Amino acid sequence: MRHILHIDMNAFYASCEQSKDKSLKGKPVVVAGDPSKRHGIVLTASYEARKYGIKTGMPNWQARTLCNDAIFLKPDFDSYIQYSIKMINILKEFSPLVEQFSIDEAWVDVTGCEDLFGSPIEIAHKIQSRIKDSLDLPCSIGISENKLVAKMASELKKPLGITELPLEKIKDMIWPLDVENLIWIGSARSKKLKSFGINTIGDLANTPMTFLINLFGKPGKDIYYFANGIDLSPVRPYAITAKSFGNTITLPRDYTDIEDIKRGFLSLSEMVGSRMRKQNFMGKTVSITVKDNNFKSITRSRTIDYTVLTEDIFNAAMKLFKENYDTNFKIRMLGVSVSNLVKIDENIQLCLFQNAKYENLKKLNYAIDMIRDKYGFDSISRGLILTGEKIKQLAPLSGMKNFDPRPHSYFEFG
């Protein structure tokens, strides 16, 4: 029997802010986009703020009406990523089998670690205390025999909860829950299920698989397994398979100058290239998304030679922009992504021109990454970016944001 832990950081962004600034402890903290920069949505609310009914996705104006004393903070994604990295490193102290699910979630397989650290529940308490003592961050932990049920268990007690959920107790603890609480069942699927009288996870578990396949297609089989707590997938370090890497920037104002556009695309190319290098990927299809002040959006792509260089991504993005926009543009949003990916260690036929110059640039890119990992993303910047207004902070840097979230990316069934 396996022993799987799912660690879920509580109110992660807000907790990071309270960890950095102790004066925020015990206060209603809301991490939200800046309304003046067209980001007026709550990203995360501390548990003190949640008591007033403030929720993720709520407009800032509504959150303010619920709590006049709420402290609104702009997101600091670089700092959240650093906290996430430190959290994962703590988990690796207890087992080499750590699989990150998102910026604030991970599974740990502690099977066979009992002689070193104690029973699974003792290990959970040690991990929770270690994260609290080292990072001053709260987390909830679920314990079960597979990843799926461990994740559901971690949702049952928040904040700072530890829940052990053996498979034989699923009927008592999970089946009575609303069907929308099951992983991968969103509001649309929930509404559809409830129209057939399937209101709880137990109702879903007792629904014939053939009916669910007819209702949802191939995912119906997965949904049936989920409801019955069946998951045979192992905890796999580095298991997430990337389909693309991308970032977008909603600009602080409408950009009309080509130099400002260049800075925007270069900032985005830096982020995308850095994330590709960290995950050991290279790609050959560069895409841009551009939205103008009339909310007209276009997406264009270009295939280049396989690359991991910021410079190549930026050059391709600028060529796409110049080919598709005239000089009368007024831009409010930019996006860059790279797809058609392969692992860098795979045997890929590279362009003959990726010679010494390419290798030197590659070394430079990795050196920049190392400096940023140690001293922060802002510790080193290219000259073009430094000459313009700082826009990098407006782009979400969640490392998991652009990975394929479908069930088969993380769960396998026999």
Q: Which helix (H) or strand (E) holds 49?
A: helix 47-50
| Kind plus residue range of the DSSP H or E element containing 304 | strand 297-307
Count helices and strands in the chain by DSSP H and E runs: 16, 12
104 marked among binding-site residues: yes
- From CA 287, how far away is CA 334, in angstroms rounded? 11
For the record, the structure tokens of 354 come out as 């990726």
Tell me how far apart the alpha carbons of residues 164 and 4 are, in angstroms, rounded to a whole number.
10
Sequence-distant (6+) residues with CB within 8 A of 143 are 3, 4, 5, 6, 120, 121, 124, 150, 153, 162, 163, 164, 165
Its CATH class, for the domain covering 175-228, is mainly alpha
Q: How far is residue 268's CA from residue 27's CA, in Å, rounded to a whole number?
A: 34
412 noted as active-site residue = no
In this prediction, residue 288 carries a pLDDT of: 94
Superfamily of chain region 244-394: DNA polymerase, Y-family, little finger domain (3.30.1490.100)
pLDDT score, position 348 = 47
Pick the catalytic residue from 105, 155, 346, 359: 105
d(CA 89, CA 191): 40
Which stretches of the chain score pLDDT less than 70?
Answer: 34-39, 238-242, 345-356, 376-414
Known binding residue 254? Answer is no
- Taking alpha carbons only, the member of 267, 259, 357, 380 closest to residue 307 is 357
- Cα dist. 124→8, 35, 54, 148, 238 in Å? 12, 40, 29, 17, 22
> CA–CA separation, 10 vs 1, rounded Å?
28
Domain boundaries, the chain: 1-168, 175-228, 244-394
Q: pTM above 0.75?
A: no
**Superfamily, domain 1-168:** Reverse transcriptase/Diguanylate cyclase domain (3.30.70.270)
